[in-house]
A and B are shown apart, each in its own frame.
Chain A
Amino acid sequence: MNDLSPPDGEWLARAQAGDAAAFSQLVRRHQVRVRGQLARLTHGDRHRADDLAQQTFVQAWRALGSFRGDARVSTWLHRIAYTCFLQDERARRPHAALDAIDAVDAVEPFESSDADSVPGDALAPSDPRTTQLLQIDLARALDRLPAHERLAIIHCYQLDLSHDEAAEVLGLPLGTLKSQVARGKARLRELLAAWRAQEV
């Protein structure tokens, strides 16, 4: 498949010909997504995320010649960013397996910020304050998921990638990714039991 959008394709072709200004356009376009991905992967460590994002784009510049346009530019950049993150993670904790980095031993629902006071469809609140509280709890719940499930959910939901693309970025078989998403969501529902009690 070769479904590069025309603007990305044009900038990419020029960048591959050595045009640094064209590459800077690609950086400007995709930096929000890449930095967002890395900020989520690093649990909100903005400095580390930005450093890794810079590294991602520098590596993308080096690898421009080998990119054949088999994937979208954004998917390609997410893949490089994820690789940079893994390398950095391994450098920081050389003896820890990815799953051991932030996995939880058991899923125990935590006290919701203010779920008890929320009426109606609790996971789809209508007032801004409740939405904010739900987002805080949801972010906390995400942080408590095993690493692989959290990564799968981040890439599918928050980065808005298709299952195929997320599997490519994470280097997983499609079926494995889908089951990790399903398991992660099941755990999230357990962790957010207090909110669901309001919803149901």
Chain B
Amino acid sequence: MHPIDEAGDRRPHAGSEAGWRDDDPLDAALRALPGPATDDGDAFTAAVMRRIGQERAYAVARDAAARAERLPAAQAIERAQAARARAARRARWIGASVLVGTAVGAGVTVAMADTALQSAAAWPPLGMRTAAASAALVVLLSWAALRGGLR
């Protein structure tokens, strides 16, 4: 007959498969050795379940703490990415401003120099003033472009 343990768990093996023999006095004596008394099963079970409850509560708290730690880190990464994007936009704007300022300034300078040279032929002081004014305009336009880009 298969022994049945306390849990109602039917043994999968007969005595001979377990290695003990009913007709061996030593085997029988070994199997008859009393185990420790465990009459506080309910208290033990309650203690185990308390420990598991504590473990679950600790796991929840640990997850919450991990999430809380992850949040500032994620925010910092987001801030850094936004700053990088702003810097890139600003660099592109500065580049474009310098390019446009230089092109406009060069065009105006050429036009005014041409006018100045023509005027100088007729009235040299006016030609010199026009040339100076065109150079000042180029400087002003470039400064304005740079300042706009840096803002």
User: Is A53 in the interface zone, CB < 8 Å from B?
Assistant: yes
**CB atoms of A160 and B31 under 8 A apart:** yes
Q: Which chain A residue has the least Cβ–Cβ distance from B10? A: A5
Q: Which chain B residue has the least Cβ–Cβ distance from A46? A: B36
The verdict on A39 contacting B36 (CB below 8 Å), with A5-B9, A162-B17 known, is yes
Question: Which chain B residues border A185 with CB–CB below 8 Å?
Answer: 26
Q: Would you give the shortest CB distance from B131 to chain A, in whole angstroms?
A: 86
**CB atoms of B25 and A156 under 8 A apart:** no
Question: Which chain B residues border A16 with CB–CB below 8 Å?
Answer: none
**CB atoms of A23 and B52 under 8 A apart:** yes
**CB atoms of A35 and B44 under 8 A apart:** yes
**CB atoms of B9 and A124 under 8 A apart:** no
Q: Is the interface of B mostly helix, strand, loop or mixed?
A: helix
Complex CA–CA separation, A33 to B38 (angstroms): 9
Size of B's binding interface in residues, CB under 8 A: 39
**CB atoms of B7 and A135 under 8 A apart:** no
**CB atoms of B10 and A178 under 8 A apart:** no
Size of A's binding interface in residues, CB under 8 A: 57
**CB atoms of A72 and B9 under 8 A apart:** yes
User: Is A123 in the interface zone, CB < 8 Å from B?
Assistant: yes
Question: Which chain B residues border A32 with CB–CB below 8 Å?
Answer: 6, 35, 38, 41
**CB atoms of A124 and B33 under 8 A apart:** no
Q: Would you give the shortest CB distance from A70 to chain B, in whole angstroms?
A: 13
Complex CA–CA separation, A198 to B116 (angstroms): 139
Which chain B residues (70-105) contact chain A, with CB distance < 8 Å?
Answer: none
Question: Which chain B residues border A39 with CB–CB below 8 Å?
Answer: 35-36
Between A and B, 25 residue pairs with Cβ closer than 8 Å are A23-B49, A23-B52, A24-B48, A29-B7, A31-B41, A36-B38, A40-B35, A40-B36, A46-B36, A57-B48, A58-B48, A58-B55, A61-B55, A72-B12, A73-B7, A123-B25, A131-B32, A135-B33, A142-B33, A156-B18, A156-B19, A162-B17, A164-B13, A178-B19, A199-B25
Given A5-B8, A8-B7, A124-B28, 6 extra CB contacts under 8 A: A24-B48, A29-B7, A35-B38, A72-B9, A156-B20, A164-B13
Q: Name A residues whose Cβ lies closer than 8 Å to a Cβ of B.
A: 3, 5, 7-8, 20, 23-24, 27-33, 35-36, 39-40, 44, 46, 49-50, 53-54, 57-58, 61-62, 72-74, 121-124, 131, 134-135, 138-139, 142, 153, 156-158, 160-164, 178, 181, 185, 188-189, 192, 199
Q: Name B residues whose Cβ lies closer than 8 Å to a Cβ of A.
A: 3, 5-13, 17-20, 25-36, 38, 41-42, 44-45, 47-49, 51-53, 55-56
